[in-house]
Amino acid sequence: MKAKAASIFYCTECGNETAKWAGRCPSCGAWNSIVEQAAPKAAVSPKSRGNMLPRAKAHPINDLGVTEELRFPTGMGELDRVLGGGAVKGSLVLVGGAPGIGKSTLMLQICSQLCQSNKVLYVSGEESPHQLKMRAQRLHVVSERLFVLSETCLGDVLESVREEAPDVLIIDSIQTLYNEALESPAGSVGQVKDCTMALMQLAKGQGITVFVIGHVNKEGSIAGPKVLEHMVDCVLYFEGDQHMTYRILRAAKNRFGATNEIGVFEMRSEGLAEVPNPSEMLLSGRPEDAPGTCVTCVMEGARPVLAEVQALLAPAAQNVARRTSNGFDYNRAAMLMAVLEKRGALKISSCDAFLNVIGGLTLDEPAADLAAILALASSYLDKPIGNRVAAIGEVGLTGEVRSVSHLGQRLSEVQRLGFERCIIPKRHAERLESITGLKLILVSNIADALREIARS
């Protein structure tokens, strides 16, 4: 009697392995995300492992030199900003995002600049060399130092790396790559982990900078970058609506730089264009003298960015009022609505409330609290705040308005874009230097801020 092949169960959301199937993952709590696959073999193909890299030796840390320049520019200032000043030699960078968001376009575009001083190998498991050539012509990427390879077998890819000896390797995408020594299909958790481990050894052992593209979908049916975050040096997420032209690049993990920087791009017919001033982009098309809108300034790394918060309150059609938030944390929005009703004496519990941040930006810092409060109150009172008024401040449960960090830098950005007044916390305001052309309105609580709306 033939023995039954061994199998394992893993979660497509987080990659956690279990001995048996369960309706809910015990690690991440996702429902119906556990699938079965054949257990991987213990042996690993020597074609993809041992003969590629020499045996590593330990070195005293005092004997190691750091005189060699480790960073080099990618040719895109927004990408260099998110990476921490440029790509690091010998690093493994994961670029994740939904299919069709523009990851492949971004990687192919940077090849034009990278090829000026580096040899680049672009490996695609999704397109043929002729298709890559057509896309490169559309993006105006032409270089004799750019080599393309259409391959999905890990062993063949590593052989090509040995033959070509590139300085930069781009894999598009990790879900299409497979190790023939494993029986599991391409895109499974085992294959994705094994291929990424081989690429990491390649990057560290030979000093090759490796960019890996990984797809993420809402269903989690494909092993996405979440499984690989602990293995790579840098994790970048490309976000945005496919039906909108703007894209935001964020760093979720970066061993060589900060993780709070963002890069803004605009998708055009000729490719991705950098947006050096995202504040003007996010405020373009703002309605004149419309109730329910307020501008705030948030810090994205070292860059101040102005964002428009919109709110709409309408009488509830049912007994239970609806609460919807887009680009603003839902729980924090619900808390601010409760504070506005309790401390601001506005009966909004019987209204459907909708909160939205324009431009696809996600506001996750408390400095946007005051703007959200004023936008909600403006919509409820049906009274505009004013086109040249901004608001910055954190709101507490007692209705107090608290100070935020980098207030001076935020106010300079507000004044630069032509705003005339800015509502800020009263505390610590005496430490601020006066800004020409910008009137500061100091408030201690949301009641003071609401009175300013009534006066406008």
Per-residue pLDDT tens over the stretch 273-295:
998 888 888 888 888 889 999 99
> What is the arrangement of strands in the sheet containing 146-150, beginning at the earlier edge strand?
146-150, 120-124, 168-172, 209-215, 92-97, 234-239, 246-254, 262-268, 271-274
| The pLDDT of residue 19 is above 70 | yes
| The pLDDT of residue 400 is above 80 | yes
Q: Please list, in sequence order, all residues whose beta carbon lies within 8 angstroms of the beta carbon of residue 64, skipping any fewer than 6 positions away.
A: none
Please give the structure tokens belonging to residue 180. Answer: 């023939």
| Phi and psi torsions of 94, nearest 5° | -105, 125
Q: Which CATH class is domain 72-276?
A: alpha beta
Does residue 423 contact residue 453 with C-beta atoms inside 8 Å? no
DSSP symbol at 330: H
pLDDT of residue 456: 67
Q: Provide the mean pLDDT of the chain.
A: 86
Q: Is 273 helix (H, G, I), strand (E, B) or coil?
A: strand
Whether the predicted model's global pTM rises above the 0.85 cut: no
**Range among 153-157, 223-227, 428-432 rated most confident:** 153-157
**Range among 216-225, 305-314, 357-366 rated most confident:** 305-314
Report which residue type is found at 52.
M
Q: Is 54 helix (H, G, I), strand (E, B) or coil?
A: coil
CB 130: neighbour CB atoms within 10 A?
A: 10
| The pLDDT of residue 299 is above 50 | yes
The residue that leads in pLDDT, 146 or 220, is: 146
| The pLDDT of residue 223 is above 60 | no
**Range among 180-184, 238-242, 416-420 rated most confident:** 416-420
| Rounded CA separation 433/443 (Å) | 17
pLDDT of residue 404: 92
Q: Tell me the CATH number for domain 281-455.
A: 3.30.230.10
pLDDT of residue 6: 66
- Cβ-based burial of 30 (10 A; exposed 0-12, middle 13-18, buried ≥19): middle
pLDDT band at 352 (very low <50, low <70, confident <90, very high): very high
Characterize the bridge pairing of strands 17-18 and 7-11: antiparallel
* Mean pLDDT, rounded, for 127-153: 93
| Rounded CA separation 154/178 (Å) | 6
| Rounded CA separation 363/432 (Å) | 24
| The pLDDT of residue 413 is above 50 | yes
| Rounded CA separation 251/262 (Å) | 7
CA angle 272, 273, 277 (to 5 degrees): 140
| Rounded CA separation 93/402 (Å) | 38
Does residue 420 contact residue 389 with C-beta atoms inside 8 Å? yes
